Amino acid sequence: MEISNVVIERHDGDTFCGVLTYEHDMREQLLTWSFALNEQRKVVLLLYPSASTTVYPEVHAHYRELADAILEEIAQGVK
């Protein structure tokens, strides 16, 4: 898996959403995501694959890598 780009499309306080593009098995894929801090200040990161995760098992297999890329982009965006 190769992550191509992480884009923050919207930002409101501690809530963000955007798009991540990646390549896996020679296919470019799009993954929408949202990030928020809940009342207990815990991170809630949701990934929305463009189809069922049974079709795109790489989202499960590479969740940590995808999440880290998103969190890194958010961290750079709030400096």
Half-sphere exposure of 16 (CA within 13 A, CB side): 24
How many Cβ atoms are within 10 Å of 33's Cβ, its own excluded? 24
> pLDDT tens digits for the chain (79 residues)?
899 999 999 999 889 999 999 998 888 888 999 999 888 888 899 988 766 545 578 888 888 999 999 999 999 876 5
